[in-house]
Amino acid sequence: MPVVKCPNCGKETEFSGNEFRPFCSERCKLLDFGAWADGKYSLPSETASMTDEEIDEIEKALAQRKET
């Protein structure tokens, strides 16, 4: 049977027949879910700021689109 490391604690556990897979236990599964719910796995994002000229170009293009 394949053996994998628990992504939370690193303990080796059997993958097949494990109801908590890929985790070794319900505890590790819940700890991981809690970290996910708290946003610890979020990726940073860039905030793009647009210039006034870019905004004007977009508004102009949208206005032209409505005319056609």
- Give the CATH number of the domain where residue 26 resides: 3.30.50.10
Q: Is the pLDDT of residue 63 over 80?
A: yes
Measure the CA–CA gap between 6 and 31, rounded to whole angstroms.
12
pTM of the model: 0.58
Measure the CA–CA gap between 13 and 4, rounded to whole angstroms.
6
Residues in the chain: 68
32 inside domain: yes
51 inside domain: no
57 inside domain: no
Measure the CA–CA gap between 51 and 68, rounded to whole angstroms.
27
Residue scoring higher pLDDT (68 or 18)? 18
pLDDT in tens, 1-49: 789 999 999 999 998 899 999 999 999 999 999 999 999 998 888 877 8
Residue 8 confidence (pLDDT):
94
37 inside domain: yes
β-bridge pairing 3-5 and 12-14:
antiparallel
Residue 43 confidence (pLDDT):
86
Number of domains making up the chain:
1
What range defines the domain where residue 32 resides?
Answer: 1-41
